[in-house]
Amino acid sequence: MSGNTIGRSFCVTTFGESHGPALGAIVDGCPPGLELSEEDIQADLELRRTGTSRHTSQRQEPDRVRILSGVFEGRTTGTAIGLHIDNVDARSRDYDTIKDRFRPGHADYAYQQKYGFRDYRGGGRSSARITVATVAAGAVARKYLREKSGIEVTGWLSQVGPHRLGCVDLASARGNPFFCADPDKLPLLEDFLRQLRRDGDSAGARVSVCARGVPPGLGEPMFDRLDADIAFAMMGINAAKAVEIGDGVEVAGQRGSEHRDELLPTGFASNHSGGTLGGISSGQDLIAHVSFKPTSSIQVPGRTVDVEGAPAEIVTTGRHDPCVGLRAVPIVEAMLLIVLMDHVLRHRAQCADVDSPTPLITR
């Protein structure tokens, strides 16, 4: 299998499967001298960990990260950083009854056709379990960007099923199991998720993310556009089906006089473009949205075929998220962090000495 690496100057390669012995990441390109500990990474892993809420999968994984290389006496050395996380609570027996059947909407059938066989235990490499490695790598980028560039990345849940959620109090998103920044909607979400559980069904979701402190100039005007790289990274997350920058799909209904972000000596008058202009960061807040499909592993009976192509019925048992979006917030943050880290290093290499005569406009 190819395609396990993202980034050019800051390269992240992940490995592992849902029910394998361990997962991990190799982070190459992190500058030397950054203070980094396992606890720095663990803080982000706790945010996506299963079993911390009755509304997520009850798989009990501690997700304790070990730094195997690239750090000496508490600082990065400039060499590859090896990150390792054990799987300790996989229950492969949950998949014995469906190992010869394809879950509709899941990667099972496509994997079988591509490779000729597949790891049916939890979906193998196609499981959202593998994102623990992505989040670990993103935590390295978060530490660097925060300390060296003043960039802060924060995400929140902006929709669950039919329910749209505002960003009323972004700080509160870290204080509830939904990553909801609209506190008044919490009772509604509780009721909705509880009913999903009763129905044995699942729902889609939308996650929004904002990066503050992004300097202007990141990205290239052609194929390495910052917004294009963000979209590429986000679509690499399991179950992601759409990515929007700024106003996203709403721009189709706007006029140019409405959409354009006018420039004033005191700052931008708006941010419909989401912090990028011509594929290059403008210095405004960078805003993206990612929509996730409903979880494919549900207990509602459905039609399928078996490995012989014969018709069959399937019901997925085991421990699954009724809405993957509830734990996708730290994953979306991690992907944005990795892309920004890569572009910060690439920009530093080419344009560190550039001195524009135009004053910065950041708002």
Q: With b meaning 16 or more CB within 10 Å and e meaning fewer, what string describes 217-250? A: bbbbeeeebbbbbbbebbebbbbbeebbbbbbee
Beta strands in 201-338 (DSSP E): 205-212, 240-245, 263-264, 267-268, 276-277, 280-281, 286-292, 302-305, 311-314
Taking a C-beta distance cutoff of 8 angstroms, is the pair 292, 324 a contact?
A: yes
List the domain boundaries for the chain: 91-351
Token pair in block for residue 184: 């008044």
Q: Are strands 65-69 and 22-28 parallel, antiparallel or unpaired?
A: unpaired
Residue 116 clears pLDDT 60, i.e. is over it: yes
**Region 318-325: what's the mean pLDDT?**
76
Q: Specify which residues 302 forms β-bridges with.
A: 314
Instruction: With cut-offs at 50, 70 and 90, classify the pLDDT of residue 120.
Output: confident
Per residue in 254-312, pLDDT tens? 999 999 999 998 899 999 999 999 999 999 999 999 999 998 888 888 999 999 999 99
Average pLDDT, the chain: 91
State the sign of the Cα–Cα–Cα–Cα dihedral 308, 309, 312, 314.
Answer: positive
Name the percent of the chain in helix, strand, coil, to the closest 5: 35, 25, 45
Beta strands in the chain (DSSP E): 5-6, 11-16, 22-28, 65-69, 71-72, 75-76, 81-86, 152-160, 163-164, 205-212, 240-245, 263-264, 267-268, 276-277, 280-281, 286-292, 302-305, 311-314
Instruction: With cut-offs at 50, 70 and 90, classify the pLDDT of residue 224.
Output: very high
**Fold of the CATH domain 91-351:** Chorismate synthase, AroC fold (3.60.150)
How open is the CA angle 187-192-195, to the nearest 5 degrees?
125
- In this prediction, residue 125 carries a pLDDT of 83
**Region 60-71: what's the mean pLDDT?**
90
What is the amino acid identity at position 326?
L
How open is the CA angle 269-270-276, to the nearest 5 degrees?
120
**Burial class of 15 by CB neighbour count within 10 A (0 to 12, 13 to 18, 19+):** middle
Token pair in block for residue 234: 């986000």
Q: What percent of the chain has pLDDT over 90?
A: 71
Token pair in block for residue 260: 């354009």
Token pair 């993310």 is at which residue?
Answer: 209
Taking a C-beta distance cutoff of 8 angstroms, is the pair 234, 290 a contact?
A: yes
- In this prediction, residue 346 carries a pLDDT of 97
- DSSP classification of residue 146: I
Residue 343 clears pLDDT 60, i.e. is over it: yes
Residue 14 clears pLDDT 70, i.e. is over it: yes
Which is more confident, 118 or 155?
155
Residue 319 clears pLDDT 90, i.e. is over it: no
- In this prediction, residue 84 carries a pLDDT of 97
